Structure 1
Amino acid sequence: MLETILTEGLSIEEENARLRAVVIALMDRSERAQSPSRPMGQLSHVVALEQQVRTRTRDLAETLDRLRVANARLSQAERDAIDARNHLADALEAMGEGFAMFDASDTLTMWNSRFCADLPDVRRRIGPGLSFRDYVRIVSESPALNLPDVNARRLWVTQRIDSHRRRDVNFMVPLVEDQWLQVSEQRMASGGTAVTQTDVTGMVRNAREERAKLLDEQAQMVRATLDHIDQGVMIFDAKARLAGWNRRLRELFSPPVDLLAHGTPFTALLNNLMRRRQLGRGNIRAALTDWVNGPPYRPPLTLEIVQDEGSVLELSAQAMPDRGFVMSFTDMTKERRAIAEMHRLNETLEARVRARTVELESARDEAERANASKSRFVASASHDLLQPLNAAKLFLASLSAMDQPAAQARLTERITSAFGSVEQILGALLDISKFDIGAARAKPEALALAPLLDRLREEFTPLAQARGLQLRVMPSRAFVISDQIYLKRILQNLLSNAIRYTERGRVVLGVRRRGGVLRIEVWDTGPGIPEDRQADIFKEFTRLDPAGSDGGMGLGLAIVEQACALLQHPLSLSSALGRGTMFSVTVPQTNAPHENPATPPVSEPRGLLHDMLVLVVENDADVRHAMMGVLEDWGASPIEATTLAEAEAVIAELGVPPDVILADYQLDGGATGLALIEALRARHGPVPAVLITANHSPELVGQAEDAGILLMTKPLGLRRLRRLLQQVPLYARDSDAADSLPAAKGDHSYWLRQTVHDA
């Protein structure tokens, strides 16, 4: 109840008055309660009332004590607030700037005597409760504000109100008599705004003087710069009157002294220069007049002036922001003469270059003709060279199969080895000639490395053992994209080179995976290759010829390099003297071709050639007889012919077609073994056939492959030929049996399968 009586905000006098009223009311009630009609009830009521009075009196005393303490604290706070306000007023008065504070509702609450001191009329109208908009309006109406007209003052009010919305803003206010105020506004945390006014007249005037002094110094610097440049310069103001020039202009045109004066019109200078023919002839006057009278922001103008005495000037005109313009004249006489002389020299040089080019083209054509002639000679002579070599190899094969004394057998072996070396040299020459004439063509395809590595192991193991070396060919099941013939040729040459130059130790052929490619590497333990000779070994007919090396003409690595370039297989070399050499060929890897799991594997027994009927078609009697002898030694039953008619007659006499046809490509009368095989197949069915030729052209290889005819080049590899012939009995002649056989190239059987399907 006491809290409802003593309401906060009442003065001490009002609270005491309320308390006295409460006491009087209580006493009056106590007196009325002492009625004689009910003495006992009144007595108990008086006792209770007395107890309440004592309690209330005690509470009232405590409340009065708290009121006295609160009044004392309030008085002290009021004194502190008055002192703080006085201190704040003293601090604001001590400020050198004008200061005012607007509350969150943009109402003026505090200011010092310097606020708007430079605007006396505004100072008189400032008072508590003034809104910020009214303050801005009063300032805009002040005659002390240096604004030209009413519109400018309205615009100033708008900009002033807009800037007030920002939290922090600073701007300059121009006053009359060249006075300046800097006004700063800062938004406070309470939402109010503190405005500070600083007189910066002295700073503005000092800055103006410094700027004027700087402009004077810059003008002097510009004058010195203009007098030291190579261009003649004229500067005109917005009214096309001369405002500046330099010494070089006088040197170029030598105008009258009275014309080179400030304020001379552009037309007067132009007329003088044109009259004295200083600007050459033509429409110079019209071009310059149109440009000068053009719009303020016209594009630059550039003209070339040729004076009567032959001097060349380049005129450049550029508009300036103040609507004036600058004209400069550059003497280009030396440059033009140098350019003319350069053109003359260029024409002379071009004539000499053309003449030299004609000579070089003639020499190049002559060299190409000689090279083509050489290559054509090698290619055309290959048949004549390989034909007797092939016959010799066949005779040697027959001779080797005979029983001979030991001395004769050794002689036969040496002769066979010598012919093998001749065969390698001729093969290398043919390969080089194909690269030279651009006849080399590659047919990249997916092929398995395993059969290729197996053939290389079989081919080079005897050669390595003969030299006391260990040959290791690491197995691989990978598939690559390459040309089978050229890849095999590359690896053959690398292995042959490694075995030839290695005296002891071993040679290793292996495959490494490197991301999506494979590196086929050939390592040897030979003497190594000096670093300064590693580039030379790929040149034709270049051999390091270390001790113990034999054979070869230095063509193997040249063929390797050109074949790798043809296949786009990177070739690399790593070698250490005394430790060995490693050649690597990088080939793209691919997935294994899809195989039919239902196809049963074919057994590969290697039977003899007993009772195999082999038709040999060869127009060279020596070669034909040698081939017949080799086939007879192998147990086959060869029959011979030189033409298609003889072949048909022999087959008709026997009454059965041959088991396989071996036909030479070049026959008498322009006939070819390819046409002969196709004719015999058309009459007697899909007979397996081998075309033997010294022609290495890609066109012939493609024709034979399309016809399902296996092509073997001269000199023949007798071991390979025998393996091929041993496969013939494995294949049935009926199409049902043929359909069950694999057709993968690389197993020496695709030509037999393709023959059956062609049927």
Structure 2
Amino acid sequence: MTDSLINPADSLERQNQKLLVIAEALMRRAEMDTDQYGAAYAQFERAAVLEGQVKDRTRDLEEALDLLNQSNARLADANQETEAARVDLANAIEAIQEGFALFAPDDRMVMCNSRFGMHLKDIKPQLVPGLSFAAYTAMVSTSRHLSLPEGVTPGAWTRNRRKQHARSHSMFNVRLRQDRWLQISEHRTPNGGTVILQTDVTDIMRLEREERDKLLDNQARLIRATLEHINQGVCIFDSNARLIGWNGRLSELLTLPLSQIRLGSGFDVMFERLRAELIFPDQDLPDQVLDWVRKKNNRPPKRFEIRRRGGVVLDVFAQEMPDGGFVISFTDVTAERRSARALFEANELLEHRVTERTIELEEALSVAERANASKSRFVAAASHDLLQPLSAAKLYMASLNADDRPPQDRTIIEKAQSALASVEGILDALLDISKLEAGRTSLDIASVDLGELMTGLRDEFAPAAALKGLRFRVVAPAVSVLSDPGYLRRIMQNLVANAVRYTESGKVLMGVRLRGETARLEVWDTGPGIAEEDRETIFREFQRLHRRASASEGMGLGLAIVERACSRLGHPLELRSEPGRGTVFSVTVPLTAPDVAGPASPPRDQAVRPFQDRGLIVLLVENDQELSRAMTMLLERWRIEVLSASDAEEALTLLDEIGIEPDAALVDYRLDGERDGLELIALLGQRFGGLPCRLISAERSAELRQRCHEGGVELLNKPIDTATLEAFLDRIQPRPPVAGRRNG
């Protein structure tokens, strides 16, 4: 009955009041209403039971009220903690020195601090929670404080900005008015949202420019420009592992904010920032890198690969510099690694196809070789027979060229003679081609004076170059090479003729570069250049890229002769060209040894060592004539040029006189004169900076070893171990050809 009279929604106080009223009414009724069956007592008994139920229900309700009050108290505490955490988060974000904004996965702004957009004052009031990213980029692109790149419209800037937003990580710089700069860094959160950081790097940019202007000279600026234009990220550290140089590509490859790349930053600090973002193939590799950096000198070159999150593969190469610093380069080899996998799969398929085609190609090649041999023999015979009547015709024309002829007749005769000379040149070229293809050429290898050869070519082509208004320059050194004199002259003659013929303005240069035991003969021009797809075509017979050249200027055989002659002589032929800028042809020819007057004899030592082709120059200082002679013979056998001296004074005087900087030095300890070997090595180090040196001595005293350790010099004991000497030479790289350092 109480369930129907009491509303559960009422408060406890209201329910208690109703129960008390009901109980009192029942008691009155029990006292007034009595009958013979004891109905009054029954009602009293029911009232007593009802009162007990009311007490129980009241107690339950009070307990529930207590629990509700406790829950409300805990909820209030939780709300207070949540509000405190929210306030702390907001304060922390507000304390960040950069502009910060968080966008939800649906690309709507969740929150931002007061620094976000502070440089774009005209749109700052509109940067509020709920703003879409599309609206945000549209507002930024039209802000009057944004300095758009030249030729870029707000719409194009917006499209490019949204492309960057689509990436998981992106970082770029934005230029503002009044030469201010912002670095924008975007990172995707695990739930698909986006965190945007805006860093004012104006001071960094200005400071970097000021420091660059103060510290870098012309050579340093050239190096800086080179670093910025290569596709590798490069960072340079001094001997204390402090950052002293880098390029912009480094920041892109490592996704490292520009604000974290600062002059003087320690390697350890930068490396620790990167370890969390990089994946190393070996868990011990990071410690190995740190050990390598902390080693002060004699670090061997170190190469390894790392992966950046996102699948980018970087090839890392670290190498020590002579002053104890080091250089680290990062190369993106992701495409190469993917290509390598694809090539491996394709290679198996290609090998199967090649096997099937080999038999067919061999038969076709045999037929082609027989046809080519027949053609070459026919051209050779025809060219030879045609030269006879051609010579007679030239003689007849010469007899007609008398001074008493009218000017009109003399002009006709001169044109006819020119035409006959062109025909003769074409027939000579055909004859050369036929001989080279038929393999009937007999080579006469001898010593060729390059100065005499190139001087003759200068006299031959100077008038033609002057007639076209070209600057024709020849740099002819006084050196000799081993080659066939006739074919070498024909090669250079065709290259120079080709350069003069197709160069309309500018200059033509013929010169020589000395590289170790070889000379590279080069012909430069400022002609139209040769496109990449045409570089095989130009070496074919009767092929001319520039059709405006007349038949009298050749039939496209000159470069074909050059290629075949170089192949026959074993002289490497190289071509470098840039359309619209010019072309460089180079031919590499071996130099003639001082005591060689004929063909070069094969080397006595057939073992090819890695350092033999580097063109190394070694200074040998040894007062024992027999040992000096033996060491010189051994080094020259290894194709190393030797500068020999008997004492320190003679060595220094020799280097001053010839103006050559050696790549390494081998110095005896006991020398004639006032200075010993260690003192000479110290002087060489001051003069050339980081010159690799070894001290040679038969002494094995502890005092000498201590002096070598203090001077940072390695000792090579007598009798000299050739394997140890080879290992030392194998680590040497030729020093860069700086002006005044080497001849040639």
TM-score (norm 2): 0.31
TM-score (norm 1): 0.30
Higher relative contact order (CA 8 A, sep 6+): 1
Q: Which has the larger radius of gyration?
A: 1
